[in-house]
Amino acid sequence: MRFRSLLFVLPVSLFLACVTAQQPAAAQQRPTLIVFITVDQMRADYFQRFDKQLTGGLRTLFDRSAFFLDGYQDHAITETAPGHAVTMSGRFPVHTGITMNSAGVNDVPDAAIVGSVDRNDLAASPVRFKGTTLTDWLRAANPQTRFLSVSRKDRGAILPIGRSKGDVYWWTLSNATFSTSRYYGDTLPAWVQRFNARKPGQDYAGKEWNLLLPASAYPEADSVPQENRGANFTFPHFVPDDPLVAGRSAPAFPWMDEITLEFALEGMKQLELGGSANRTDVLAISLLTTDAIGHAYGPDSREMHDQILRLDRSLGMFLDSLFKMRDRRRVVIALTADHGMSPLPAIKSTIYPNHDAKVVSIAPQWRAFKARLIKAGVDSTAFSIEDGSVVVVEKPDAFAKARVRADSAIESFASEVRKVDGVLRADLITSLAKADTTTDTIARRWLHMFAPDGAARLMITLTQYSYWAPGSYPTHGSPHDSDAHVPMLFYGNGVSAGRFNGFVRVVDMAPTLAELAGVKPLEKIDGHVLRQAIK
């Protein structure tokens, strides 16, 4: 009775508040569009390094997203193909099968480029890719799901989607237009043909790339003769007068990102991505200009500084257009990179600590090792060194026939390699498999690359910032953090904005997006849901 009397004297508003608090929260509205942006060669520190000069899309994403400060591509060969295969699969290269660029999307059957007769336009398809991606998980839940993937590079467009056939396009250098391969279809849709007819890359013929801001806003030196292999290393940078040549050279200039984003918006409109409340569509965009400029001038160059500022403005215009076309409350955006970047050893950087970097060659040791095996009777085609750092045994029977123990022979080569200045370590895969991967980052990243029972037998790791010879242009590809540390962010309704510390991996992005979309992976994956990012 006393409880009943107390109930009746409670104010009505307080009573209703108590009842409401006991009810389950309304289900989070699922996104109708997931936009996954991969900026090729985007170092994580670029956001903080250029923070005060960002005013566009990078500014919006940095300030209003769930931004993970310690995100990594947690595998050893940090190249474009392995990195893109990770982004939307949630699996490391050891499980996607894409372990290096040379084992990526080219040199494949029945995948000629539509509309091309130039042999420089390499056939491309995802036939080497294993397993599924976020797109497959969404389509399994709802077969009406649509997707579009666009990039300047074939592997940048193909690998985030996996093996699904559909709207996947990339820039062909011969025609300076967007196309696809016969893996996806025999003709281009009318909307792609119309876009190409505008010849967007050719519009820049005779123009120049100059600084976006006054020169005083750039602390980096402009005249660095080691950049761009000693040619055209100061601003302004000029575009050829011939329109077709200008179109073919577009990937070397910041406006290639603008063209790619414009194409993505047109495709989104034509395919009606995000246009239905009953499905979640995918728009995958890989922006490659940062990679082209990084390979020419390096991460510590004035050109890279200007490129990031221009990328920021281009993404700002893209987001403005996107949210005019689609309800921002139903869009989720993710952004990351396929790998980072290390400065050229010939340039003692004022930004990155590369002053002890070496240019390393193990060619003499390899020639001697190869000669010993051939003399012992091992077929010379039975073994090779891939990507300069991985010894592969393709025909183990050839070693057995010659009564040579492969691992023992390879260890003798490793012992010689370890003496070379600039070599940090040389590990048999069997030794790496016994390492404590919670503390041995290098071992963990190699094991995320290759299986202990596979053909790859020896992994050679250089000291941080060191390059394999000839080291003539800036590059990446090592297991070190300088090449592995990348931005990771999520933006949109349902995302808990903030900046988060703590080690996370790019493999965690796909399952997190799947959670936001209310779907499940179709197979065992390596990543897990980043709960901090979800409201």
Q: Are 247 and 201 in contact (CB under 8 A)?
A: yes
State residue 95's pLDDT score. Answer: 98
* Diameter of the chain measured on Cα atoms: 100
The amino acid sitting at 436 is: D
In the predicted model, is pLDDT for residue 5 greater than 80? no
- Overall average pLDDT of the 175-182 stretch: 96
Among 400, 401, 382, residue whose Cα is nearest residue 391 = 382
State residue 14's pLDDT score. Answer: 39
Give the residue from 403, 430, 463 where a domain finishes: 463
Domain span holding position 163: 34-349+481-533
Question: Domain check: are 342 and 363 in the same one?
Answer: no
Among 62, 40, 38, residue whose Cα is nearest residue 51 = 62
| CATH number, position 364 | 3.30.1360.150
Domain count, the chain: 2
Give the residue from 404, 433, 463 where a domain finishes: 463
State residue 28's pLDDT score. Answer: 65
pLDDT digits (tens, 9 = 90+) for 473-518: 999 999 999 999 999 999 999 999 999 999 999 999 999 999 999 9
Question: Domain check: are 308 and 272 in the same one?
Answer: yes
Quick check: is 27 in a domain? Answer: no
User: Residue 69 gets which letter from DSSP?
Assistant: T
State residue 360's pLDDT score. Answer: 98
Burial 204-214 (b: 16+ CB within 10 A, else e): bbeeebebbee
**Three-class secondary structure of residue 68 per DSSP:** strand
Instruction: Return d(Cα 284, Cα 153) in angstroms, integer.
Output: 13
- Overall average pLDDT of the 79-85 stretch: 98
Backbone angle region of 534, left / alpha / beta, with phi > 0 → left and psi within -120 to 50 → alpha: beta
Quick check: is 11 in a domain? Answer: no
State residue 432's pLDDT score. Answer: 98
Where do runs of H (alpha helix) occur along 181-227? Answer: 190-197
Q: Are 67 and 60 in contact (CB under 8 A)?
A: no
Question: Domain check: are 490 and 364 in the same one?
Answer: no
Question: Domain check: are 259 and 387 in the same one?
Answer: no
Quick check: is 245 in a domain? Answer: yes
Question: Domain check: are 406 and 515 in the same one?
Answer: no
Question: Domain check: are 200 and 172 in the same one?
Answer: yes
Q: C-alpha distances in angstroms, 462 versus 129, 164, 233, 384, 419?
A: 28, 37, 28, 19, 12
- Overall average pLDDT of the 347-368 stretch: 97
Question: Domain check: are 377 and 313 in the same one?
Answer: no
Question: Domain check: are 494 and 440 in the same one?
Answer: no
State residue 29's pLDDT score. Answer: 86
State residue 99's pLDDT score. Answer: 98
Q: And the tokens for 337?
A: 């990179």
State residue 4's pLDDT score. Answer: 35
Quick check: is 469 in a domain? Answer: no
State residue 52's pLDDT score. Answer: 97
pLDDT digits (tens, 9 = 90+) for 14-52: 333 443 334 433 456 899 999 999 999 999 999 999 999
pLDDT digits (tens, 9 = 90+) for 51-62: 999 999 999 999
Question: Domain check: are 385 and 268 in the same one?
Answer: no
**Residues 6 or more apart from 459 whose CB is under 8 A from it?**
76, 389, 390, 426, 427, 429, 432, 446, 449, 450
Quick check: is 369 in a domain? Answer: yes
> Of the given ranges (2-6, 135-139, 271-275), which has the lowest mean pLDDT?
2-6
- Overall average pLDDT of the 298-313 stretch: 98
Among 80, 63, 54, residue whose Cα is nearest residue 486 = 80
Q: And the tokens for 265?
A: 């918006």
Question: Domain check: are 363 and 338 in the same one?
Answer: no
Question: Domain check: are 45 and 133 in the same one?
Answer: yes
State residue 8's pLDDT score. Answer: 33
Q: C-alpha distances in angstroms, 328 versus 213, 230, 514?
A: 31, 46, 18
Give the residue from 402, 428, 463 where a domain finishes: 463
Percentage with pLDDT > 90 across the chain: 93
Q: Are 73 and 509 in contact (CB under 8 A)?
A: no
State residue 27's pLDDT score. Answer: 53
| CATH number, position 308 | 3.40.720.10
Helix then strand then coil, % of the chain, to nearest 5: 40, 15, 45
Quick check: is 304 in a domain? Answer: yes
The pTM of this model reads 0.94
Question: Domain check: are 110 and 245 in the same one?
Answer: yes
